[in-house]
């Protein structure tokens, strides 16, 4: 990426990492998972600063509950939670303040596109979670 021809504003690209709201709200039994997501969040700003001279931006999305074909990760549906009973999946969605549902992959993709389009957005972690804050367990 650092070797590509820069665009009109000098930009060569953007790196968009995925963390999780567990980086902020790790639950009981999630030490390793929360720490790994916290590491992604923690490296976002320093990496953006390191790569700025190359015209490369770095941002991170920290998703909550998102519905990926009836499976859930964080609070977005993924294969990890596919085995949960439908009632439990519904309850997870209802735990989101607003909108009270699991997120959709299209909403994640819309945020990715917005990050790509907004050249000033750099070194940021954006929570995509409907204002959800996870309880300790």
Catalytic residues: 33
Q: Which residues pair with 13 in a beta bridge?
A: 56
- Give the list of residues 6+ apart from residue 130 with CB closer than 8 angstroms, or none: 64, 65, 75, 96, 97, 98, 99, 100, 101, 103
Are the beta carbons of 59 and 17 closer than 8 angstroms? yes
Are the beta carbons of 68 and 105 closer than 8 angstroms? yes
């Amino acid at each position: 990426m650092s070797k590509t021809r820069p665009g009109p504003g000098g930009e060569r690209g953007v790196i968009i990492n995925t963390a999780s709201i567990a980086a902020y709200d790790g639950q009981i039994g999630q030490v390793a998972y929360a720490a790994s997501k916290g590491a992604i969040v923690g490296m976002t700003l320093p990496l953006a600063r390191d790569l700025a001279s190359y015209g490369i931006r770095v941002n991170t999305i920290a998703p909550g509950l998102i519905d990926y074909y009836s499976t859930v990760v964080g609070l977005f549906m993924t294969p990890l939670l596919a085995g949960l009973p439908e009632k439990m999946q519904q309850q997870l969605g209802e735990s989101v303040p607003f909108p009270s549902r699991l997120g959709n992959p299209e909403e994640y993709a819309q945020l990715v596109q917005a990050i790509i389009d907004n050249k000033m957005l750099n070194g940021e972690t954006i929570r995509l979670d409907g204002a959800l804050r996870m309880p300790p367990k």
